[in-house]
């Protein structure tokens, strides 16, 4: 058993001295404590430095990862943010920078135009940038003003404005090739052409077809260095995206050939191709994404394919995800398939997650993810299933994940279930402690029920956990219970624990009691 002092020392936490407990030496604090360390400290009954209540950390980061340094919730948020954002198909600047030349005569005009743009007044912004160009042709702002005029025109989505934006970008290319915005201008130009092509502009359609074909023709080799960067492909990818919306029969074969490539130089292209194919439902969409998820050598490409299968959301996509989950030997890919199924709002997807949560022999961490995501579906509709699942599980880590997931759903029935489990002498002590911890973090569990439980507990570890739970509640009755324990608990060590936590309270009643202890 790790001592309280050892845990404090390992976590670099300063604890103020209180009567009847030897003062610990001052130890420099560290900026943060890992979730695993936090959980272990919570079990030992140690308040984390800088937090008023441990519940604050629980709400911020779903404290207990139950055996990991980073929590399930944090990982889930990363997955959602990274995968949902998708690849950068529209890789051009959308926010004009602040003015950088205060002495330039055009500075005030630029700032006014920028303000109109950032407030979404695109027609007025286009006019203002055009005015800057006309009045101050020699300004340091002029070269980039062409780009921002064209972008403002593009944002109106009107046919005449789009044609004007194309002309403005052509002029910038021919006369200001060294402008800082030229790279952004190429990607914007492809978007403008795509928008015009969809409105029936023949010249724009020719541009889209020819540039989309360049994606397929830029084969690259597996040996030798890659030329160009990720952004170099964006104009062609934008053209390919536009072609897919114009003429799917022509675009899909190009996308398939891109996704069949295996050279390292095409990785960025393949990621973007996955995103594009997912945005346009075709008879081949699911099959293309499934093949990519199974066969692409790049992990990020495979993950993107799995994620976008979930966004397609069809019955065929759901079955495809289930096949990945059941047949893949890659735990990371199975993990992403679990997440993807959790994003599909269908009874069949929920059934697949439940089946996997109970699948003996499957990777334990992936089963834990399935349990967690079940708790996030349907406003707690899976709570009853999870409570039943707990009784069928034999693996303690999986049981812990059920307790955590139930606590995240909340609600009277779930919190009562956690409290009943905490009081059940037939359950293992560690699981009972975790159930008590998570129930105690909710203000929906009445303090009266919590205080009434202490005197019924027989296990010393459970009583220690109960003392810690009281310390995390702000109600005056929780402090009263700690004082009562400090006065009347037969176990001297438990009395010390109660006194320690009384010493952490800022309630005048706590100071008064501690003075009484000192004066005895």
353-366, pLDDT tens digit by residue? 999 999 998 999 99
pLDDT band at 166 (very low <50, low <70, confident <90, very high): very high
pLDDT band at 80 (very low <50, low <70, confident <90, very high): low
pLDDT band at 170 (very low <50, low <70, confident <90, very high): very high
What b/e string do you get for 204-213 counting C-beta neighbours within 10 Å, with b at 16 or more? bbebbbebbb
Region 425-434 average pLDDT: 94
pLDDT at 268 over 80: yes
Containing structural domain, residue 49: 4-73
Quick one: pLDDT at residue 217? 63
Give CA–CA dist 493/44, Å, rounded.
13
Name the domain count of the chain. 1
Quick one: pLDDT at residue 8? 26
Give CA–CA dist 101/237, Å, rounded.
35
In a domain, 46, yes or no: yes
154: its two tokens: 């593009």
Pick the closest to residue 341 from 368, 367, 306, 366 (CA basis). 306
Quick one: pLDDT at residue 288? 92
Quick one: pLDDT at residue 226? 59
pLDDT at 484 over 80: yes
pLDDT band at 81 (very low <50, low <70, confident <90, very high): low
pLDDT at 153 over 90: yes
In a domain, 64, yes or no: yes
Q: What is the pLDDT of residues 83-117, one digit of tens each?
A: 444 444 446 889 999 999 999 999 999 999 999 99
In a domain, 348, yes or no: no
Q: DSSP alpha helices (H): ranges in 346-455?
A: 347-357, 364-376, 383-392, 396-409, 412-423, 429-440, 447-454
pLDDT at 314 over 90: no
Pick the closest to residue 234 from 275, 206, 176 (CA basis). 275
Task: Supply the mean pLDDT for the chain.
Answer: 80
Q: How deeply is 466 buried, as exposed, middle or buried, from its count of CB atoms within 10 A (0-12, 13-18, 19+)?
A: buried
91: its two tokens: 């890789």
Report the SS3 class of residue 393: coil
Quick one: pLDDT at residue 265? 83
pLDDT at 7 over 60: no
Region 11-19 average pLDDT: 31
Q: What is the pLDDT of residues 21-55, one digit of tens each?
A: 333 233 233 333 333 333 333 333 333 323 333 33
In a domain, 217, yes or no: no
Region 4-11 average pLDDT: 30
Lowest mean pLDDT of 10-14, 76-80, 128-132, 508-512, name the range: 10-14
pLDDT at 280 over 90: no
Q: Which residues contact 80 (CB under 8 A, 6 or more apart)?
A: none
Q: What is the pLDDT of residues 202-248, one digit of tens each?
A: 999 899 888 888 776 655 444 445 554 444 446 777 788 778 878 88
- For residue 21, the cross-strand partners are 18
In a domain, 86, yes or no: no
Quick one: pLDDT at residue 401? 95
pLDDT at 376 over 90: no
Q: What distances in angstroms separate CA 197 from CA 200, 203, 205, one per listed residue?
A: 5, 8, 5
Give CA–CA dist 166/146, Å, rounded.
11
State which H helix or E strand residue 359 sits in. Answer: none
Quick one: pLDDT at residue 9? 29
In a domain, 496, yes or no: no
In a domain, 347, yes or no: no
In a domain, 12, yes or no: yes
């Amino acid at each position: 058993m790790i001592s309280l002092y050892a845990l404090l020392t390992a976590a670099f936490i300063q604890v103020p001295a209180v009567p009847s407990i030897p003062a610990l030496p001052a130890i420099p604090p560290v900026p943060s404590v890992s979730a695993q360390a936090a959980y272990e400290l919570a079990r030992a009954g140690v308040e984390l430095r800088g937090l008023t209540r441990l519940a604050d950390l629980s709400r911020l980061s779903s404290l207990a990862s139950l055996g990991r340094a980073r929590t399930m919730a944090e990982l889930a948020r990363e997955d959602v943010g990274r995968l949902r954002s998708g690849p950068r198909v529209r890789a051009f600047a959308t926010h004009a920078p602040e003015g950088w030349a205060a002495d330039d005569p055009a500075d005030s005009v630029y700032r006014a135009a920028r303000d109109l743009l950032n407030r979404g007044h695109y027609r007025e912004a286009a006019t203002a940038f055009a005015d800057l160009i006309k009045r101050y042709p020699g300004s340091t702002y002029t070269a980039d003003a062409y780009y921002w005029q064209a972008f403002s025109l593009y944002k109106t989505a009107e046919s005449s404005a789009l044609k004007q934006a194309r002309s403005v970008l052509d002029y910038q290319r021919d006369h200001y090739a060294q402008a800082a915005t030229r790279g952004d201008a190429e990607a914007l130009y492809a978007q403008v052409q795509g928008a015009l092509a969809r409105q029936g502009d023949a010249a724009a359609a020719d541009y889209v077809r020819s540039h989309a074909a360049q994606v397929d023709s830029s084969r690259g080799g597996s040996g030798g260095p890659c030329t160009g960067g990720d952004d170099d492909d964006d104009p062609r990818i934008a053209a390919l995206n536009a072609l897919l919306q114009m003429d799917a029969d022509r675009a899909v074969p190009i996308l398939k050939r891109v996704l069949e490539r295996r050279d390292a130089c095409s990785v960025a292209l393949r990621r973007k191709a996955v995103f594009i194919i997912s945005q346009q439902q075709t008879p081949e969409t699911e099959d293309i994404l499934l093949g990519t998820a199974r066969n692409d050598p790049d992990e990020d490409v495979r993950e993107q394919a799995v994620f976008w299968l979930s966004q397609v959301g069809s019955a065929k996509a759901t079955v495809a995800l289930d096949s990945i989950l059941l047949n893949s030997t890659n735990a990371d890919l199975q993990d992403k398939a679990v997440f993807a199924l959790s994003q599909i709002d269908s009874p069949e997807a929920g059934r697949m997650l439940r089946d996997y949560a109970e699948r003996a022999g499957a990777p334990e961490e992936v089963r834990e993810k399935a349990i967690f995501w079940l708790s996030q579906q349907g406003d707690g509709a899976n709570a009853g299933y999870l409570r039943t699942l707990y009784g069928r599980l034999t693996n303690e880590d999986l049981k812990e994940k059920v307790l955590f997931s139930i606590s995240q759903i909340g609600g009277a029935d779930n919190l009562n279930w956690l409290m009943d489990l905490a009081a059940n002498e037939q359950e293992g002590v560690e699981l009972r402690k975790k159930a008590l911890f998570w129930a105690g973090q909710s203000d929906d569990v009445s303090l009266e029920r919590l205080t009434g439980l202490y005197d019924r507990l027989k296990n010393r570890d459970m009583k220690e956990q109960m003392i810690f739970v009281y310390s995390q509640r702000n109600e005056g009755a929780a402090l009263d219970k700690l004082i009562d324990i400090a006065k009347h608990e037969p176990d001297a060590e438990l009395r010390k624990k109660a006194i320690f936590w009384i010493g952490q309270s800022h309630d005048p009643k706590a100071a008064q009691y501690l003075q009484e202890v000192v004066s005895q």
